[in-house]
Amino acid sequence: MTQLPEGHAAEAARLVCTEYADTALYHHSVRSYLFGAAWAEAAGFEFDRELFFVSAMLHDLALTAPFDSHTLAFEEAGGHLARVFTAGLGWPARRRDRVAELIVLHMRDDVSPQVDVESRMLQVGTSADVSGTGVESFDPAFREALVRDYPRLGFADAFVRLFQDQAVRKPGCAAAELVVGDWAQRTRSNPLDRD
């Protein structure tokens, strides 16, 4: 399995995620990174590991009470949070824009990997981990190791509740669009919960 990045930015992002997310949401963030990285490696794409890891660690923190915005969709609020976080790391404006962009785009229509590989990786990673989309394309041994090392801990039900809450309070957001369809059922039926 792909190793998690090391270095100051990665350690800081991991620390912030573990401090503000519960264990299930933290494990989701790590699994999203590992799914996305495995997908890109299998396809032969080169990518910025640090940028992708920081984005994966921060992408859902705006679903937590301290960072939840009552006016912005969680991915937009998360993008702002990531810009502030990476400013503290001394990242230049263009790199801060990129981390925010990845977080916002993970809830949008698919991005072509030829246009933006890291954004597509976050879409692939989060979709596989949340609703099981495309999870069958990953080696069963990889999936088993992922769930063993980073257990789901009731993630599906808790995450559905978070999105339902977002939908009630922000009816025009992307989470609200997902809740209207069969997303909640697919999330609760994710094969990762059976692996």
Q: Give per-residue pLDDT as tens, 104-128.
A: 999 988 889 889 999 999 999 999 9
> Phi and psi (nearest 5°) for 48?
-90, 100
Question: Tell me, what amino acid is at 24?
Answer: A
For 49-107, how does the pLDDT look when each residue is reduced to its tens digit (9 = 90+)? 999 999 999 999 999 999 999 999 999 999 999 999 999 999 999 999 999 999 999 99
Token code pair at residue 22: 């519960």
- Is pTM beyond 0.75? Reply is yes
Res 105: pLDDT: 95
For 18-46, how does the pLDDT look when each residue is reduced to its tens digit (9 = 90+)? 999 999 999 999 999 999 999 999 999 99
Res 109: pLDDT: 81
Residue pair 73/59 in contact by the 8 Å Cβ criterion: no
- Class in CATH terms, 8-193: mainly alpha
Token code pair at residue 150: 């980073």
For 167-189, how does the pLDDT look when each residue is reduced to its tens digit (9 = 90+)? 999 999 999 999 998 999 999 99
How far apart CA 154 and CA 126 sit, in angstroms, is: 16
Find all residues with CB under 8 Å of 88, minimum gap 6, and list them.
12
Distance of CA 125 to the CA centre of its chain: 7
195 pLDDT higher than 70: no
How far apart CA 43 and CA 116 sit, in angstroms, is: 14
How far apart CA 122 and CA 52 sit, in angstroms, is: 8
Sketch the domain layout of the chain as residue ranges: 8-193
